Structure 1
């Protein structure tokens, strides 16, 4: 079983515009959709579509609209009881795929709820092959929460993936010596922040056929104890680095419609492939196939296996010019 953990879940409301977004103007919309959301919930939704054994774990009140939406979606879930309603996040999508996101901070968790969530994760992890922890942290959880939970899960046989950003990602990285997950999934901006580089330069290099700067950055994190780094790079594809090698995957050609959930779909694809026993290059292939399929779908729609173009993904090994030992210097 795969357990997904979403400390800061949401109702994701997507507004599609018929033309470009114009600040300060009154604009008509072409469609509005609302779906259960939060990054871990999205991962669970994708895995459910693939008939993969998954459990979504999140804080929510019993009568919250998010709970009703999850029940309708057939995603297996378990909640930690809280009193405040789940937040609503807004995504505005334009015809060319440009997406503007407005995310609320989330309902605060008190000490009792925070402790209950931590216990629930550890309890669920005892029956899991993977624990996937994703997204921002709500008020009430310390920035180090992911790092603390990774350390608590270290004695268990499950593998742990973390997909987060900003202060929680920095806190996790600071604790890599004691709490290095089996997988992290940074985008270019997050990877650059971890190693002190430029996101624009990383993406530009890969777009021009040179994945070496991304590989070098990821190797620095692997050298610090991270099992694998799946760096998602938008239209340029993704790079996977672990102790055995590095690979670049370029996506099939698509017409981008919405980037909402694309990164979460990539993570779901990687873990689905890993659970199926796939080698690292094939895990990367499935990750990129899922991410590109999600980007080609409207609004918050997430891809099913039949919508994947696995054969359209090109995976190429990247032979390092910098060794892992040199990458730490």
Structure 2
């Protein structure tokens, strides 16, 4: 069973418009709302791939009630910790691309964070991997992910961490098996403009491997077995907001299966593209996955002189958001 943790759950609201223009009114063509937050989205992808999954999450207030009801129909197991504050919302406006507005989330108390930790510890023994994904809510310890990752390591359960800023920096101290920031999150956490230099900083910090999502340039994995890079083999258009969560899901299933890094990278690239072609984060287009995965060609880069390949000119980007800023740690 793969356990996902969403400490800052959200109700994801997606508006579709013909074209987004600043400082004017828009007629929304369609509205879609459902339970979200990065860990929830990862759980949806893993469930769609027929993995047994348990989603741990926080819920509070009327919005939390809507999240709870939606998760009740999601088809996978959940363990929800009630908090006193109102669950946040995210609003994604989609035209030819996506613009995302992320609320900060409710402030959690020490007792509420302790309740989430107890739920996590109770389910850790049955986990084959854990996914720690998204922002930490206000009030959570800044080393909250480090604590969760260290508990997993003590139980010999691999942890995949997908976060940014201070949450990523402090989380690496817990020794996660994989961290999966995008290039902006990596630079923000380490102060390093060069992604490979930033990845090496996080390895020294305690991460076992660093997978960098690079938008239109694909994915680079800095590992003990070498540096692997791959990009999508064809253009896929749609909603890119769930692409990073699909990468995280691919890494979680791969670490459970013990797949070698070239297969992990190819799967992550193809699954990311399969997410872009769907209306909402947490969904994948299986036909796209099946078509693209055999065509992804991971490249082994030289360790000492590696530079990451630039993006092919005809592949669209898959932007993801960032968390709170970090200080310069590039050394």
The TM-score by the shorter chain falls in which range? 0.7 to 0.9
CA drift of 1:61 comes to: 4.9
1:311 aligns with 2:294: yes
Residue 254 of structure 1 contacts residue 296 of structure 1 at CA under 8 Å; is this kept in 2?
Answer: no
1:185 aligns with 2:168: no
Give CA deviations for 1:190-232 in whole Å, capped at 9, x if unaligned: 122233223xxxxxxxxxxxxxx53343233224431111100
Change (3 A) 1:56 1:321: same
Residue 52 of structure 2 contacts residue 76 of structure 2 at CA under 8 Å; is this kept in 1?
Answer: no
Measured in 2, the distance between the counterparts of 1:250 and 1:111 equals 43
Q: 1:237 aligns with which of 218, 229, 237?
A: 218
Measured in 1, the distance between the counterparts of 2:287 and 2:49 equals 9
Give CA deviations for 1:230-269 in whole Å, capped at 9, x if unaligned: 1001111000111111100111212321111110011101
Measured in 2, the distance between the counterparts of 1:41 and 1:242 equals 27
Query: Which residue in 2 is equivalent to 1:58?
Result: 57
Query: Which residue in 2 is equivalent to 1:293?
Result: 274
Query: Which residue in 2 is equivalent to 1:7?
Result: 7
CA drift of 1:301 comes to: 5.7
Query: Which residue in 1 is equivalent to 2:79?
Result: 78
Residue 14 of structure 2 contacts residue 94 of structure 2 at CA under 8 Å; is this kept in 1?
Answer: yes
Residue 289 of structure 1 contacts residue 313 of structure 1 at CA under 8 Å; is this kept in 2?
Answer: yes
Query: Which residue in 2 is equivalent to 1:275?
Result: 256
Measured in 2, the distance between the counterparts of 1:5 and 1:183 equals 15
Query: Which residue in 2 is equivalent to 1:25?
Result: 24
Q: Secondary structure at the match of 1:137?
A: coil
Q: Secondary structure at the match of 1:59?
A: strand
Q: Secondary structure at the match of 2:130?
A: strand
Residue 43 of structure 2 contacts residue 55 of structure 2 at CA under 8 Å; is this kept in 1?
Answer: yes
Between 245-254 and 59-68, report the one with greater CA deviation: 59-68
CA drift of 1:322 comes to: 4.8
Unaligned runs of 5+ in 1: 199-212
Query: Which residue in 2 is equivalent to 1:202?
Result: none
Query: Which residue in 1 is equivalent to 2:99?
Result: 100
CA drift of 1:12 comes to: 0.3
Q: Secondary structure at the match of 1:230?
A: strand
Aligned CA RMSD, in angstroms, stands at 2.0
Q: 1:265 aligns with which of 246, 253, 262?
A: 246
CA drift of 1:53 comes to: 1.1
Q: 1:320 aligns with which of 298, 303, 308?
A: 303
Q: Secondary structure at the match of 2:115?
A: helix
Residue 237 of structure 1 contacts residue 249 of structure 1 at CA under 8 Å; is this kept in 2?
Answer: yes
CA drift of 1:27 comes to: 1.4
Give CA deviations for 1:127-178 in whole Å, capped at 9, x if unaligned: 11111011111122122211222223331110011111123223334xx2xx
Measured in 1, the distance between the counterparts of 2:106 and 2:262 equals 39
1:225 aligns with 2:195: no
Residue 64 of structure 1 contacts residue 85 of structure 1 at CA under 8 Å; is this kept in 2?
Answer: no
Residue 219 of structure 2 contacts residue 230 of structure 2 at CA under 8 Å; is this kept in 1?
Answer: yes
Residue 165 of structure 2 contacts residue 189 of structure 2 at CA under 8 Å; is this kept in 1?
Answer: no
Measured in 2, the distance between the counterparts of 1:108 and 1:269 equals 31
Query: Which residue in 2 is equivalent to 1:48?
Result: 47
TM-score if structure 2 supplies the norm length? 0.86
Change (3 A) 1:300 1:32: farther
CA drift of 1:304 comes to: 4.8
Measured in 2, the distance between the counterparts of 1:284 and 1:230 equals 9
1:255 aligns with 2:244: no
